[in-house]
Structure 1
Amino acid sequence: MATLTLTGNALDNAIKLVSDKCAYVTLEAIESSSVRHATCIVTATGPIEFTVKSNADYTVYSTSLTAPEPVTGISASHLKYGQTAVLTLSGDPQISSIKVSSDKCTGMVLDATSSAATRTARCTVTGTGDMKLTVTNTSGGTTFYTQTVSVPEPQVTLVTSLGTVVMELNPTAAPITVKNFLAYVNQSPSFYNGTLFHRVISGFMAQGGGFTTGMNQKPKVPTGITLESQNGLLNVRGSVAMAREGPATGSPETDATRNSATYQFFVNLVNNAFLNYASSSNPGYAVFGKVISGMDVIDLMAAQPTATKNGYSDVPVTDITITSATQTQ
């Protein structure tokens, strides 16, 4: 809604006001012989023509005013997959009725207007790569501004008693698994803080996330996640996969065993092709990421002596503890 102030002589005369880009023009009551106000709904940006006419339709005055673009730039912070991004809109966003949408960010909330020169919006990031942001009028019929920002692949940093490991996750190939893993990482405090790499087999893999000192198992989760082992990611050296329950010896795989992964994960020390999907009766294990830094730390884990503790085999004699797990990207 624009407010227009008309000045000049004899504004108490019978006049009318028209415009090419301002609809529902309303002349207010006469205030004096030299001042009168009007209102209208701005329907476009850029130059807007206003014409004052007499009742006999003679043009007595015309002018052009400029409606600024409501948004001229968007900066994004906390742009992490699965988390809440903060978008800062610059330009003239405070006085305009606008809506912000995105192809990879859901639950968009636009903050209330204020006296500041910028305005913020928040949404939950649901994809990686190029994310398109679009500013429109509230009906979505007019687009004011578009911008593309890049969302990086999520990364999780594990600080362990033997060193730091950085894992890059692949939510495109394994969306269910990545969402599940990050939900544990991003608990406050992280679910993985204080857990162990409790099963380490040289020439095979290092498994963690399920036990604390003394081989005390974390509380079991009644329902696991859907197995995503047919996603094209392979159990090669450095890949990160979800651990799950296997069938009893001599028994076939069932939906209960296939979809039993919860919070335990493992890092492949070598190429373990036999862990890949082969068939519905041999569905393998779902890879959802890879180690991009600290594979030497995983190798160091494999060099530690192991023993049987509390009935569990291949347990490092000296605890290998995850002191912190953080989504760092």
Structure 2
Amino acid sequence: MLKLVGLALSALALGVASPAVAQEVKVASHKAPEEIKADPSNRLFLKLTNGGTVEILLRPDIAPQHVYRIQQLATQGFYDGIIFHRVIPGFMAQGGDPTGTGQGGSELPDLEAEFNRLPHVRGAFAMARATDPNSANSQFYIMFTANLSLDFDYTVVGRVASGMDVVDRIAPGQPPAQPTMIVRAYLGGPMPSAPATPVEMAKAADSE
């Protein structure tokens, strides 16, 4: 199992991009297609021990393999009982590691990067990785504030649709003294079929 080291960028450039740049990215890439929003399987719910539930709209149209991994693990109950082990106020809350240390992941293989145009704005839901771009596995993070310096280096897979106030209440610390835990992670609909892999898509394109 690969030992993840969180975001792999030391507490990262905590500075936020200029409002003009943020607005430009927002206009370009925030709106999900209606068919994505209408599919309940693209809704991830995280019920937390701080008394609230976070709803996240996943974007399989942008990062199909990473979204499918989240859907798989949530459906299997993998995230139930896992804490947010790295929570930096003004930056992000990271979870998804069953060891609670930032060094663990699932038994599934690591994912090839799907860097995309979705920006790291407040509420962005993205996959943590080690220094290898193709090392995302099960860990994820939710942005408290915008930090566009992370764009195109980490795979954003969705955004909080409701419950951002619940995210704001996640206990801070690395690790927190009394960490917030995921009581239950679940989808709003049935487990979807696996998306085509890049190899399968390439073969299909060649056959056309």
Deviation at 1:216, TM superposition (A): 8.7
Distance 1:184 1:326, change over 3 A: same
The aligned residue for residue 206 of structure 1 is: 93
Query: Does residue 259 of structure 1 match 2:119?
Result: no
**Which one has a larger percent helix, Structure 1 or Structure 2?**
2
Uncovered stretches (5+) of structure 1, i.e. residues with no partner: 1-127, 131-149, 247-256, 278-283, 307-313
Query: Does residue 170 of structure 1 match 2:59?
Result: yes
Uncovered stretches (5+) of structure 2, i.e. residues with no partner: 1-33, 190-208
Q: Distance in 2 between matches of 1:217 and 1:324?
A: 21
Q: Distance in 2 between matches of 1:183 and 1:153?
A: 11
The aligned residue for residue 234 of structure 1 is: 119
Q: Distance in 1 between matches of 2:105 and 2:62?
A: 28
The aligned residue for residue 328 of structure 1 is: 188
What are the equivalent positions in structure 2 for 1:225-304 lying under 5 Å apart? Answer: 225-229=111-115, 231-246=116-131, 257-277=132-152, 284-301=153-170, 304=171
Q: Distance in 2 between matches of 1:182 and 1:238?
A: 18
Which of 185, 191, 194 is the aligned partner of 2:74? 185
Which of 288, 293, 316 is the aligned partner of 2:176? 316
Counterpart residue type for residue 322 of structure 1: I
Q: Distance in 2 between matches of 1:233 and 1:328?
A: 22
CA RMSD of aligned residues (A): 2.3
Deviation at 1:174, TM superposition (A): 1.0
Q: Secondary structure at the match of 1:178?
A: helix
TM-score for both structures, normalised by structure 2: 0.68
What are the equivalent positions in structure 2 for 1:68-217 lying under 5 Å apart? Answer: 129=35, 151-152=39-40, 154-162=42-50, 163-187=52-76, 190-212=77-99, 215=101
Deviation at 1:129, TM superposition (A): 2.0
Counterpart residue type for residue 191 of structure 1: F
Which protein shows a greater Rg? 1
Provide Cα deviations, 1:146-186, integer angstroms capped at 9, x if missing partner.
xxxx6456101111111211111011111111111111111
Q: Distance in 2 between matches of 1:226 and 1:179?
A: 13
Deviation at 1:211, TM superposition (A): 3.3
Deviation at 1:218, TM superposition (A): 4.7
Q: Distance in 2 between matches of 1:201 and 1:208?
A: 12
Q: Secondary structure at the match of 2:175?
A: strand
Q: Secondary structure at the match of 1:316?
A: coil
Counterpart residue type for residue 210 of structure 1: D
Q: Secondary structure at the match of 1:182?
A: helix
Deviation at 1:298, TM superposition (A): 1.0
Q: Secondary structure at the match of 1:200?
A: strand
Q: Distance in 2 between matches of 1:269 and 1:208?
A: 14
Aligned residues: 155
| Preserved contact between residue 127 and residue 155 of structure 2 (Cα < 8 Å) | yes
**Which one has a larger percent strand, Structure 1 or Structure 2?**
1
| Preserved contact between residue 129 and residue 153 of structure 1 (Cα < 8 Å) | no
Deviation at 1:212, TM superposition (A): 4.7
| Higher RCO, Cα 8 Å, sep 6+ | 2
Distance 1:207 1:171, change over 3 A: same
